Chains A and B, each alone.
Chain A
């Protein structure tokens, strides 16, 4: 990841059409998975006609249409929003830490948010019941983010990039143990805690979409606004400061966006793993280093991946639903392994 492969000013016929082409292909993939996510693998025989009927001729008494509007649509929307949030959070994290392994799950930030969520739901502190869930997960994400920042040495000028991964893993482990114990102290289902540790969107409603929207829109907006600054930062911090940019300010703003994005995703879907790690790498491989393109592409790719994962989560044990986090973590963990191996490959 040297600064030489930056394609800000590249100009060739292919370069000119490359980005629109990639966006077009991704958009098609997105639409196809959106379509399949809405109407396939249901015990009801939903058809494309039902989807059209919902759009043009909605009848609230028709059960197939109700299923699409009342269950599939919120679920699909949440998948899209969570995918966007996690992917952009990962992109920003990788941008400001310049660590290719940075992501909500590897750094333990989503585990922190999930712990806060689980702790509040156990009712051990009744006062927490009156605080909106978004604020609770934000507090969790913020605390674990700050802890991992300092433990991982991100405030130091020269730190081993693997140090922060180790800090994240330790934090992750800590949060998982605490989530377990919170659930065990609260009730008797001591061994059924998997639910809090894996993200799931099986039972989402339209309200969940509204819960996510504010945090997600602010986060997205911030990411778009910071895109240019992140490009400068990628070239080098000194260059950036000399060009009148303020690296510190960019970092703080991006961190706020990251916290908002992760918190809104976790408060609805739980800690869905590895989207934030995978998507930015795929996007960079496709389109290069320009953050002004990377932000929208990551959003689109993240949403697509979540939709595909959602379809798979219904396929693997049809007609039973599985948590979507299972699918993303199986794919993501292998991706992580491959990435780690590439990262440490002896450079010749």
Chain B
């Protein structure tokens, strides 16, 4: 927290001295002279941050499918141009949009940093595999470079208030777990993953507290039964996925969440793709409604 305030103070000071906004990004120091108007973002978490400020990105790496952005975020911004897949965004389209800033992910886009910089000033932040706290730090940086630091800090404070309110209301000592399921298997999200971080923020216990290193843990039914969450939320990518095979086993009914009918199939786009404050609050709402 102190760090955050310090950064903000520093940002405010530098704002007063010149029209230049500086932040530390994953590649070093990022500075921009003007307030960016045409922004291209290469991960969904950045869309959430921009939407909170009411800024519409001109281009989004949405894997060619605009519906991957959840409606709550989509409704806040105007339509964008798809710049291709997140792992291999299309540089030609990005440059044709003539952006004045690009926000990219450290893990996926460090390879094309030089190319992106040639197109426009590029802010590289953490997104893929980020934790809840990483996300808030990234959001604050986006606020600074967009010259809306004060507003962003206020939004974060409001978000914190709402999350505190949710935490108070939810107040459960049960074990929670979010997992995604595809045709290739089931993956649990540890407290290091975004969804796990949101649960932690709400004061909920994780069913796999021992996983402190890895954000995503591939699991078998055996391990899931051992984790034995009291509340299990599963985001399914597709109609028929690995979790449907789990359900056919008698052991599935031994998971406490299934026994107590607190098993919930939820939207993986919300819980795993669209990381950010808006998504976190909807997740908190969903958790609140499922908890008895």
Please tell me whether chains A and B touch each other in their complex, using a CB distance cut-off of 8 A.
yes
The residues of A with any CB-CB pair to B shorter than 8 Å are 42-44, 60, 63, 66-67, 70-72, 121, 187-192, 195-196, 202-203, 205, 207, 319-321
User: Provided the pairs A71-B251, A203-B245 are in contact, do residues A191 and B220 lie with their beta carbons within 8 angstroms?
Assistant: no
- CB-CB < 8 A to A203: which residues of B? 185, 220-221, 242, 245-246
CB pair A70 B85 closer than 8 Å: no
A-contacting residues, B232-283, CB 8 Å? 237-238, 242, 245-246, 248-251, 254
CB pair B218 A321 closer than 8 Å: yes
The residues of B with any CB-CB pair to A shorter than 8 Å are 63, 85, 87, 182-185, 217-223, 225-226, 237-238, 242, 245-246, 248-251, 254
CB pair A320 B217 closer than 8 Å: yes
5 interchain pairs (CB within 8 A)? A66-B250, A71-B220, A121-B183, A187-B182, A320-B218
- CB-CB < 8 A to B254: which residues of A? 63, 66
User: Provided the pairs A67-B222, A188-B63, A191-B87 are in contact, do residues A60 and B250 lie with their beta carbons within 8 angstroms?
Assistant: yes
- CB-CB < 8 A to A192: which residues of B? 184
> Top 10 closest A-B pairs, CB basis?
A43-B226, A70-B251, A195-B184, A202-B220, A188-B63, A71-B222, A321-B220, A70-B249, A70-B250, A66-B251
Q: Closest residue of chain B to A70, judged by CB?
A: B251
CB pair B245 A42 closer than 8 Å: no
Tell me the complex Cα distance, A67–B225, Å.
9
Tell me the complex Cα distance, A203–B85, Å.
30
Q: How far is the CB of B255 from chain A (nearest CB, A)?
A: 10
SS class, residues of chain A in contact with chain B: loop
Q: Contact partner of A321 among B85, B223, B237, B246, CB < 8 A? A: B223
SS class, residues of chain B in contact with chain A: mixed
Q: How far is the CB of B61 from chain A (nearest CB, A)?
A: 11
CB pair B223 A43 closer than 8 Å: yes
Q: Closest residue of chain A to B63, judged by CB?
A: A188
In the complex, how many residue pairs between chain A and chain B have their CB atoms under 8 Å apart?
60
Most buried by B among A189, A203, A207: A203
- CB-CB < 8 A to A71: which residues of B? 220-222, 249, 251
Tell me the complex Cα distance, A45–B94, Å.
55
Given A70-B251, A192-B184, A205-B245, 17 additional A-B pairs, CB 8 A: A42-B222, A43-B226, A63-B254, A66-B251, A67-B225, A71-B222, A71-B251, A121-B183, A188-B85, A190-B85, A195-B185, A196-B184, A202-B220, A203-B245, A320-B217, A320-B218, A321-B218
Tell me the complex Cα distance, A71–B183, Å.
19
CB pair A205 B249 closer than 8 Å: yes
Q: How far is the CB of A72 from chain B (nearest CB, A)?
A: 8
- CB-CB < 8 A to B246: which residues of A? 203
Q: Closest residue of chain B to A74, judged by CB?
A: B249
Most buried by A among B184, B223, B245, B246: B184
Q: Closest residue of chain B to A193, judged by CB?
A: B184
- CB-CB < 8 A to B220: which residues of A? 71, 202-203, 321
CB pair B225 A63 closer than 8 Å: yes
CB pair B248 A205 closer than 8 Å: yes
- CB-CB < 8 A to B251: which residues of A? 66-67, 70-71
Tell me the complex Cα distance, A204–B182, Å.
16
- CB-CB < 8 A to A195: which residues of B? 184-185
Q: How far is the CB of B219 from chain A (nearest CB, A)?
A: 8
Tell me the complex Cα distance, A196–B220, Å.
17
Q: How far is the CB of B257 from chain A (nearest CB, A)?
A: 15
